[in-house]
Amino acid sequence: MNYERPLAASLRVLLSSPTPVIHVLIGARQVGKTTIARQIQESLPIPAVYATADSPLPPDAAWIETQWRRAVAEASGTGGPVLLVLDELQKVRGWSETLKLAWDSRAAGPEIRLLILGSSALLMQEGLTESLAGRFFLHRCPHWGFPECRHAFGWSLNQWLYFGGYPGGASFMGDEAIWKRYITDSLIETVLARDVLQMAKITKPALIRHLFALAATLPAQSVSYTKMLGQLQDAGNTTTLAHYLKLLESAFLVSGLELFSRGVQRKRGSSPKLILWNNALVNALSTRTLAQSLADTIWWGRLVENAVGAHLCNSLNSVEYSLTTWRERDREVDFVVARGRDVWAIEVKSGRSGKSSGLARFRSRYPKSRALLVGGQGIPLEEFFSREPVAFLS
């Protein structure tokens, strides 16, 4: 497949000239971070050094020093700048401190343009803020959206809503059973075993797998931690579940959206709304085929609503925007986006029955909020998924 994601072009421009910062590319596994780096490496008219720390036994700081010396040697030989690409850097113990020392020594040596990649938002951002403050520029590589899958693979909207947009799975779409095995074994298990379990000390590794599997069966649903405890073996307590859910979010797998409340200090919600960042994560663990999912209007409505939530999670900068949900008794608003004083209430018209719209109630409580209808008589789904959400938040 000869396809280039738009992010590659913007990064290429930044790395084609001297840059005063380290460029950091974070995102989920199998969304094309390494491919983007390779495309930039091949297209820039300067030599490049590429290395990955993605190994069963994580390397130590000496690995970074070695790659830096490789880049310095290459630059010394050519007399010009060199691009150094370090992949899955969060796996290196003490990576940020070592990289800081090397980066700060550049003035006395040749020009090194640095691009680092990582698939853990938590570990990457901890290292960046602790040791590399003011020295980096963060780029987010989201899951593949509908326009990219349509352009690269010719997918219809329904295919994207079901298969979710991992490019590696596109070649297995002809046999859904094999596609499910690929996503489960090659992607989900790899992320859980090699990313999530390396982020922090996990006292109950089986629990975090069971929590992810439970979330995959309940997309776009608000589930109390008490109910989760009742369905999970050896679940510990609600604090453990909330912590594990945050770890899954930092690996770009699942978010638990909290309740919106303007101007009131609210503790962590007891019933988070579960949003999986890619519908493939839902359907790979489901027994339903694409045809069966389309025939089940309630389930398909869940998939549509989850896809809307995933589109918002992938596209909106968490520093600038907050994404929550809202409920009052039997009334609910699917998603609430806030930026400063601006608030948007988003209702998904997916055809799913059994829920009562709380849009009118929400707007009576927050008169300055703005409404956004997605699907049905609102923004057509194909139009909504074809644009960045900020295009509708004005």
394 residues of the chain, pLDDT tens digit each: 578 999 999 999 999 999 999 999 999 888 999 999 999 999 999 999 999 998 877 789 999 999 999 999 999 888 899 999 999 888 888 888 999 999 988 877 789 999 999 887 766 777 777 778 888 999 999 999 999 999 999 999 999 999 998 999 999 999 999 999 999 999 999 888 877 877 667 888 888 899 999 999 999 999 998 888 888 876 677 888 898 999 999 889 999 999 998 765 454 557 999 999 999 999 999 999 999 999 999 999 999 999 999 999 999 977 789 999 999 888 999 999 999 999 999 999 876 555 667 899 999 999 999 999 999 889 999 999 999 999 999 7
- Of 267, 282, 270, nearest in space to 245 by CA: 270
**What tokens appear for 371 in the block?**
């409404």
**Residue 355 confidence (pLDDT):** 60
SS3 221: strand
Exposed, middle or buried by CB within 10 Å (0-12, 13-18, 19+), for 359?
buried
- Asked if residue 362 lies in contact with residue 369, where contact means CB atoms within 8 angstroms, the answer is yes
pLDDT digits (tens, 9 = 90+) for 311-338: 999 999 777 899 999 998 889 999 999 9
Beta partners for residue 114, in sequence order: 84
Measured CA to CA, the distance from residue 50 to residue 70 in angstroms comes to 10
Predicted local distance difference test score (pLDDT) of residue 172: 95
Residues 17-43 have pLDDT tens digits of: 999 999 999 998 889 999 999 999 999
Residue ranges of the domains in the chain?
6-141, 146-391
Ordered alpha helix ranges (H), the chain? 6-15, 33-43, 61-78, 95-104, 121-131, 146-153, 157-163, 176-181, 189-191, 197-199, 205-217, 225-231, 238-250, 279-283, 290-295, 297-315, 359-365, 381-385
Write the CATH number of the domain with boundaries 6-141: 3.40.50.300
Q: Say if residues 336 and 343 touch (Cβ distance below 8 Å).
A: yes
**The tokens 């839902």 sit on which residue?**
282
pLDDT of residue 267: 46
Query: How does 177-208 read in b/e, with b if 16+ C-beta sit within 10 Å?
Result: eebbebbeebbbeebbebbbbebeebebeebb
User: Are 315 and 389 a contacting pair, CB within 8 Å?
Assistant: yes
Burial of 133 (0-12, 13-18, 19+ CB in 10 A): exposed
